[in-house]
Chains A and B, each alone.
Chain A
Amino acid sequence: MGLTVTGQRAEGRGQNARRVLVVAFCSLLSALCSISVRGEIIDRVLAILPGQIITQTDVRAALDLGLVEAPAGNDRIAAGLSALIDRVLMLNEVRRVMPPEPSQAAVDARLARIRQRFDSSAALARVLAASGVDETILRVYAADDLRLTSYLDERFSAASQPTDQELRQVGEAARAGLATERRQNLISAWVAELRRRADVTVVSSK
């Protein structure tokens, strides 16, 4: 009787173990199923600017094409998004003053620099396809880059030059570094002001 009882207990433990296994297996299945149903987010809205949205593919394209810079790592998308928001705000401001169209040659040269970032034209094509960017848009990006650079040079380069008195203090050799640093500070202050004025909503930075 006692054995029987013991045997029953042993059988009971075995059943429990099997139940645990079944539950675990089902849970795994369920988890895997949920992954398969959900799929992968291939694009989403990351930020909203007045009259414009920035999507995940926009940020990836901007990073891959070298339109914005961001350090590699987990926060690369977040940093790229922030830089792209700045770029969009600056370009909106640049368009208000209606700068002259860059020459075709200048655009071609800029496109060539973009292409140099890739090992092959196939690699570039893959990035463009994954980003939803075609050659027309790529040319617009390149032209925008030139407009932006031209605007920043015109507006900030002269103002960034150190004075003679400053050069006497730090030496002529530091001229370039000082001008670059000051130019960057001026641009940063300008961008901060643009951000303050604009209604920017970051939906997600991942």
Chain B
Amino acid sequence: MLVLALLFAASAAHAAVSDYVGKPVVEIRLQSNGAELRDPTLLEMIETRTGAPLAMVDVRESMAHLFGLGLYQDVQVDALLRGDGVVLTYNLIPAYRVRRIVFQGALGISENDLRRVVVERHGASPSLARANQAVTTLRVLYRDRGYPRAEIAARTDVSRDPANAALVFTIRPGLRARIGAIDIQGSPRDPAPVVLSALGLQVGDDYDSIALDQRLARYADNLRAQGYYEARASQIPRYVDNDAVVNLALSIDPGPRVEILFQGDALSDADRDRLVPIAREHSVDEDLLEDSKFGIERFFRERGYCVPRADYQRGDPGPPKPGAKADAAGVLRITFTITRGPQCVVQQAGVVGNASIPLAELLPLVLTRTGALFNEAIVGADIARIQSLYRQRGFSSVTVTSQVDRGDVQGGTAPVRVRLDVAEGVRSIIQSVSFQGNAAIDAETLRKAIATVPGQPYFEPQIAADADKLGQLYLNRGYQEIAVRPEPKAIGDGSQVDLQFTLQEGPQVLIDHVLIVGNDRTRRETIVREVQLKSGQPLSQQQEDDTRTRLASLGLFRRVDISYLQLPGERLHRDVVITVEEAPVTTIGYGGGLEGGKRLVRSSETSEAVEEFQIAPRGFFEVSRRNLFGKDRSLNLFTRVSFRPKGVSASPNVPNQSTEGGGYGFNEYLARVTYGERRILGTDADATISAGVEQAVRSSFDFNRRGAAATLTRRVSRTLAVSGRYSLDHTQLLNIKSNLAAQPEIDRLFPQVRLSSVSSSLIRDSRNDSIEPTSGSLIGADAELAARSIGSQVGFFKTFLQGFAYRQLPGSSNIVAVLGARLGLAAGFPRTVIQEGQAATIVVDDLPASERFYAGGDTTVRGFALDRLGTPDTIDPGGFPKGGHGLVVLNAELRIPVRGVLGAVAFVDGGNVFRTVEEMAFGALRAAAGFGLRYRSPVGPIRVDLGFKLDRRILPTGQREKLTALHISLGQAF
């Protein structure tokens, strides 16, 4: 019975496919390498369902989905009858990914050469299906290198891991062919032994076709350097004796020695080489000589010579004279005779024949100006501009011709009158716009998508652009085969045009499955959240672009590819395959540099503020880890240190502060840890939480700050972002350089202060480049509130508004104009405090020193040292800045490219710091002007600016302000 049952099973196994179709599926298995797979992602791709009748269409679709993952080189579906039903097994055959290329055997050729050839032709990870082509490539290489009988076989080594397969080439090069005979053909200038010696070639040598080709090329180059511009040297190898021997025929043909002579008007050597490229092209054929003639004539025409002439004469190689040296024989002389003729000057230029467009509009388009040298090319461009304007106005058949009248030559110049004749033709106006063939999108929607409307001039480029827009509209709705054809129909004399767009929509393609491949660490849902292409929706071009942009902006992937997979005959559905290549999880960055600029330091003699140019070495180290827990989360540690000169800046107020000695001190540092998460809690907002410690040196004090902050940022559009922030800081002032009596009350009361604040900001950034913008603008608005009710020791409200605009000057060679304005306003909340040791109370409504505004320095007003700018009320008697509650900074800068990576700037800055907002006045602004240099380095522009004060004043110390301030830094000022 058992045998019979098994025999029955065996026979059932060989049933026809149609025997299975329609039978209920009783079980579905998913296997790979014999192992059962239970991955839900894989299982959901299977369209066949247990209990449902088997349909091959479901099987085919399931195969397509599974194959689309890119992980399998084959998907096989087995069917087995069990009772009245069918057991289906999907066998997934893993795709071997070639990660290594291995060469085995006595190679004969260096492994590096072999690898280079394979990688150049077939890539570093060649497809196994292309292994045979790689073998052919290697065979050609071996034959070229003298191994015509090389035996090469390719196999795959997947012994370790299918995803890390090796493509192994086993090579037996066989015997290397030797040179048996050398026959020199052609008409070499030198005897055969000399030629062979020059080529380093002799009978019995190993044959290497590639090396010989290189030597022949060098030999021909040597001949060309001697004037034999048409020299040719080549080889014809012939294998004999069972491929053991190569008989070589070398064809050496030096051609005639060419002499190029110029007579008539002068042409510089550089222009001769450029315009007559015989030596470069290795040819003296007629086409090249003709091109040279026209090139010379064009060259002179562009310089105002209206009737230049360049003729060439080709002297045949003369027969060798008896007794003459070989060099004298066969010389080909090519003589160019140049007559540049008179230089033509435009005496009059005008436009006639225009009736519909006035001269006032046309003449600005004409760059052929009276008094200028006549140039045909400029006249041609004038014609093109006038025609373009007419066509924009609906004159589609306009023609413009030029009439050039040359006067008598006087003193080597001839006057020229240029007249541009306009034949306007009929002006065509769009009478109606209609659509034909649109079934999926109604005419009204199509009409809204285009710019052309009835009553407008007929302008073909606009209509073509409209056709593109219609095509895009359809593409975004899944009509991948859309074709749009504009069909204008002229009415009567052509003054009216009925415009019809004929559309061939084709089928609408819907998305079947969205397959995501390559995400080993990143969670699928992190990617799915960004994918705009959804199953069941039309395959939209726009959504594909959005998906690509959103996935790229995650910062998790090095590469994002979106492709489509379809089955033959299946025109209505596609699987979308999104392949990502994950970026390294951990990145480390570090760098160092120098900052230079004038800073205020305490004079060791007078204890007053003096300006001193300081160079401060600085460096940073950063380590980031992205893709935390498979999501778009990151952790970043940023540290920065700066070394500033010590000694003179020491304060006698602070014990243990050295006032002696020089050198550099480790006095500025920052260490900050930031955790970031995009689209937190499923919202559109990105969150960051940071904590850090910082110590910095300011002009009047140093400070040490420890704090933490939480920020929520939402990008409203591509250019607009809003954010909200809460921060808690503890700031301690150190090395206060002002005398105690001169210090603001709040600094004396709160040398250490805890600030708890909420703030919000809005940034609109439309710059085309954040490092060196040439267009766009940056606008920012910040508001901060610190209050005792939320834990702050001092309360205040502060706003800071800033705007910068970048424009490339019209008609300039990439000169960029930058205008900037910054406005800071702050007010402290009054607070009554009892001073230590005193009975009386005082009211403090100031901001802590670290929160007040300061100006002067390399990014604000560049005629002043750092923080040196301020009204007299904001500078203490020792000359140190106290900061203020009001700030104005205005900037104007021209950025001028000089040459290569060098650039220059000219700037005018203005601004000031005011003690209170009420005291702010434009009349009190201080101005500075100056210039600077920029060196565009790989890490950004290196900047040197020298600013000059435009109104030097007497400082509280009685000294006059210094005229200049020098700044050296990295990056543009703003």
Q: Which residues of A contact B (CB under 8 A)?
A: 28-29, 32-33, 35-45, 48, 51-55, 57-58, 60, 62, 84, 88, 95, 98, 100-101, 126, 129-134, 136-138, 140-141, 144, 199, 201-204
Instruction: Indicate if the CB atoms of B9 and A42 lie closer than 8 Å.
Output: no
Please give, as numbers and ranges, the residues of chain B lying within 8 Å of A138 by CB-CB distance.
Answer: 569
Contact among A33, A98, A136 with B483 in the assembled complex (CB-CB below 8 Å)? A98
C-alpha gap A40/B56 in the complex (Å): 14
Instruction: Indicate if the CB atoms of B483 and A45 lie closer than 8 Å.
Output: no
Q: Name the residue on B nearest A101 (C-beta).
A: B504
C-alpha gap A54/B565 in the complex (Å): 11
Instruction: Indicate if the CB atoms of B78 and A40 lie closer than 8 Å.
Output: yes
C-alpha gap A202/B127 in the complex (Å): 12
Instruction: Indicate if the CB atoms of B80 and A130 lie closer than 8 Å.
Output: no
Please give, as numbers and ranges, the residues of chain B lying within 8 Å of A33 by CB-CB distance.
Answer: 6
Closest 7 CB pairs of A and B: A132-B56, A39-B80, A201-B129, A36-B9, A39-B78, A132-B57, A32-B6
Please give, as numbers and ranges, the residues of chain B lying within 8 Å of A199 by CB-CB distance.
Answer: 127
Q: Name the residue on A nearest B76 (C-beta).
A: A44
Contact among B55, B87, B506, B564 with A39 in the assembled complex (CB-CB below 8 Å)? B87
In addition to A37-B80, A130-B56, A136-B572, 15 A-B residue pairs with Cβ atoms within 8 Å of each other are A32-B6, A32-B9, A36-B80, A40-B17, A40-B80, A41-B77, A42-B77, A44-B76, A51-B565, A52-B566, A58-B567, A88-B568, A130-B16, A132-B55, A141-B569
C-alpha gap A131/B565 in the complex (Å): 19
B75 within 8 A of A: yes
Please give, as numbers and ranges, the residues of chain A lying within 8 Å of B17 by CB-CB distance.
Answer: 40, 42-43, 57, 60, 130
Q: List 21 A-B contacts (CB under 8 A).
A: A29-B2, A32-B7, A35-B9, A39-B87, A40-B13, A40-B15, A42-B17, A42-B79, A45-B63, A48-B67, A51-B565, A53-B565, A53-B567, A58-B567, A60-B17, A98-B504, A126-B18, A132-B57, A140-B569, A144-B569, A201-B129
C-alpha gap A39/B9 in the complex (Å): 9
Query: Considering residues B55, B57, B64, B564, which has the most beta carbons from chain A within 10 angstroms of its beta carbon?
Result: B57
Instruction: Indicate if the CB atoms of B89 and A204 lie closer than 8 Å.
Output: no
B20 within 8 A of A: yes
Instruction: Indicate if the CB atoms of B2 and A52 lie closer than 8 Å.
Output: no
Please give, as numbers and ranges, the residues of chain B lying within 8 Å of A144 by CB-CB distance.
Answer: 569
Known: A88-B568, A95-B481. Contact between A43 and B80, CB under 8 A?
A: no
B21 within 8 A of A: yes
B74 within 8 A of A: yes
Q: Name the residue on B nearest A91 (C-beta).
A: B568
Instruction: Indicate if the CB atoms of A42 and B22 lie closer than 8 Å.
Output: no
Give, as a whole number of angstroms, the nearest-CB distance from A202 to chain B: 7
Contact among A35, A48, A58, A133 with B13 in the assembled complex (CB-CB below 8 Å)? A35
B667 within 8 A of A: no
C-alpha gap A202/B133 in the complex (Å): 14
Give, as a whole number of angstroms, the nearest-CB distance from B812 to chain A: 44
Give, as a whole number of angstroms, the nearest-CB distance from B88 to chain A: 8
Query: Considering residues A32, A39, A129, which has the most beta carbons from chain B within 10 angstroms of its beta carbon?
Result: A39
Contact among B6, B18, B483 with A129 in the assembled complex (CB-CB below 8 Å)? B18
Instruction: Indicate if the CB atoms of A36 and B13 lie closer than 8 Å.
Output: yes
Q: Name the residue on A nearest B58 (C-beta).
A: A132
Please give, as numbers and ranges, the residues of chain B lying within 8 Å of A126 by CB-CB distance.
Answer: 18
**B534-578 interface mask toward A, CB cutoff 8 Å, 1 = contact, 0 = none?**
000000000000000000000000000001111111111000000
Instruction: Indicate if the CB atoms of A129 and B55 lie closer than 8 Å.
Output: yes
Please give, as numbers and ranges, the residues of chain B lying within 8 Å of A136 by CB-CB distance.
Answer: 572
Known: A52-B566, A95-B481. Contact between A131 and B13, CB under 8 A?
A: no
Please give, as numbers and ranges, the residues of chain B lying within 8 Å of A60 by CB-CB distance.
Answer: 17
Query: Considering residues B12, B20, B56, B76, which has the most beta carbons from chain A within 10 angstroms of its beta carbon?
Result: B56
B906 within 8 A of A: no
C-alpha gap A136/B127 in the complex (Å): 35
Give, as a whole number of angstroms, the nearest-CB distance from B471 to chain A: 11
Known: A40-B80, A51-B564. Contact between A129 and B60, CB under 8 A?
A: no
Q: Name the residue on B nearest A201 (C-beta).
A: B129
Instruction: Indicate if the CB atoms of B6 and A57 lie closer than 8 Å.
Output: no
C-alpha gap A43/B60 in the complex (Å): 8
Work out how many contacts link A and B, with CB atoms closer than 8 A: 138
Give, as a whole number of angstroms, the nearest-CB distance from B508 to chain A: 13
Q: Which residues of B contact A (CB under 8 A)?
A: 2-3, 6-7, 9-10, 12-18, 20-22, 55-60, 63-64, 67, 73-80, 87, 89, 127, 129, 481, 483, 504, 506, 563-572
Instruction: Indicate if the CB atoms of A53 and B64 lie closer than 8 Å.
Output: yes
Please give, as numbers and ranges, the residues of chain B lying within 8 Å of A57 by CB-CB distance.
Answer: 17, 56, 59-60
Give, as a whole number of angstroms, the nearest-CB distance from B19 to chain A: 9
Instruction: Indicate if the CB atoms of B57 and A36 lie closer than 8 Å.
Output: no
Give, as a whole number of angstroms, the nearest-CB distance from B421 to chain A: 42
Please give, as numbers and ranges, the residues of chain A lying within 8 Å of B78 by CB-CB distance.
Answer: 38-42
Instruction: Indicate if the CB atoms of A58 and B568 lie closer than 8 Å.
Output: yes
Q: Name the residue on A nearest B9 (C-beta).
A: A36
C-alpha gap A95/B565 in the complex (Å): 16
Instruction: Indicate if the CB atoms of B18 and A130 lie closer than 8 Å.
Output: yes
Q: Name the residue on A nearest B29 (C-beta).
A: A39
Q: Name the residue on B nearest A88 (C-beta).
A: B568
Instruction: Indicate if the CB atoms of A43 and B569 lie closer than 8 Å.
Output: no
Give, as a whole number of angstroms, the nearest-CB distance from B296 to chain A: 42
Q: Name the residue on A nearest B570 (C-beta).
A: A137
Please give, as numbers and ranges, the residues of chain A lying within 8 Å of B20 by CB-CB distance.
Answer: 42
Instruction: Indicate if the CB atoms of B569 and A133 lie closer than 8 Å.
Output: yes
Instruction: Indicate if the CB atoms of B6 and A29 lie closer than 8 Å.
Output: yes
Instruction: Indicate if the CB atoms of B21 and A51 lie closer than 8 Å.
Output: no
C-alpha gap A144/B379 in the complex (Å): 53
Q: Name the residue on B nearest A50 (C-beta).
A: B563
C-alpha gap A129/B55 in the complex (Å): 7
Please give, as numbers and ranges, the residues of chain A lying within 8 Å of B568 by CB-CB distance.
Answer: 52, 54, 58, 62, 84, 88
Instruction: Indicate if the CB atoms of B481 and A36 lie closer than 8 Å.
Output: no
C-alpha gap A28/B73 in the complex (Å): 33
C-alpha gap A141/B58 in the complex (Å): 19
C-alpha gap A37/B504 in the complex (Å): 52
Please give, as numbers and ranges, the residues of chain B lying within 8 Å of A137 by CB-CB distance.
Answer: 569-570
Q: Name the residue on A nearest B78 (C-beta).
A: A39
Give, as a whole number of angstroms, the nearest-CB distance from B183 to chain A: 37
Please give, as numbers and ranges, the residues of chain A lying within 8 Å of B566 by CB-CB distance.
Answer: 51-52
Instruction: Indicate if the CB atoms of A43 and B15 lie closer than 8 Å.
Output: no
Please give, as numbers and ranges, the residues of chain A lying within 8 Å of B22 by CB-CB distance.
Answer: 129
Please give, as numbers and ranges, the residues of chain B lying within 8 Å of A35 by CB-CB distance.
Answer: 9-10, 13
Please give, as numbers and ranges, the residues of chain B lying within 8 Å of A101 by CB-CB distance.
Answer: 504, 506
C-alpha gap A29/B3 in the complex (Å): 7
Q: Name the residue on B nearest A53 (C-beta).
A: B67
Contact among A38, A40, A132, A141 with B59 in the assembled complex (CB-CB below 8 Å)? A132
C-alpha gap A60/B7 in the complex (Å): 28
Q: Name the residue on A nearest B15 (C-beta).
A: A40
Please give, as numbers and ranges, the residues of chain A lying within 8 Å of B565 by CB-CB distance.
Answer: 51-53
Q: Name the residue on A nearest B73 (C-beta).
A: A203
Please give, as numbers and ranges, the residues of chain A lying within 8 Å of B10 by CB-CB distance.
Answer: 32, 35-36
Give, as a whole number of angstroms, the nearest-CB distance from A200 to chain B: 8
Please give, as numbers and ranges, the residues of chain B lying within 8 Å of A44 by CB-CB distance.
Answer: 63, 74-77
Please give, as numbers and ranges, the residues of chain A lying within 8 Å of B572 by CB-CB distance.
Answer: 136
Give, as a whole number of angstroms, the nearest-CB distance from A32 to chain B: 4
Instruction: Indicate if the CB atoms of A53 and B569 lie closer than 8 Å.
Output: no
Instruction: Indicate if the CB atoms of B563 and A43 lie closer than 8 Å.
Output: no
Please give, as numbers and ranges, the residues of chain A lying within 8 Å of B569 by CB-CB distance.
Answer: 58, 133, 137-138, 140-141, 144
Please give, as numbers and ranges, the residues of chain A lying within 8 Å of B55 by CB-CB distance.
Answer: 129, 132
Please give, as numbers and ranges, the residues of chain B lying within 8 Å of A54 by CB-CB distance.
Answer: 568
Query: Considering residues B21, B60, B569, which has the most beta carbons from chain A within 10 angstroms of its beta carbon?
Result: B569
C-alpha gap A55/B78 in the complex (Å): 14
C-alpha gap A52/B60 in the complex (Å): 12
Give, as a whole number of angstroms, the nearest-CB distance from A15 to chain B: 23
Q: Name the residue on B nearest A35 (C-beta).
A: B10
Known: A52-B566, A130-B21. Contact between A43 and B56, CB under 8 A?
A: yes
Instruction: Indicate if the CB atoms of B79 and A45 lie closer than 8 Å.
Output: no
Instruction: Indicate if the CB atoms of A45 and B13 lie closer than 8 Å.
Output: no
Known: A51-B565, A100-B504, A201-B127. Contact between A42 and B57, CB under 8 A?
A: no
C-alpha gap A35/B80 in the complex (Å): 10
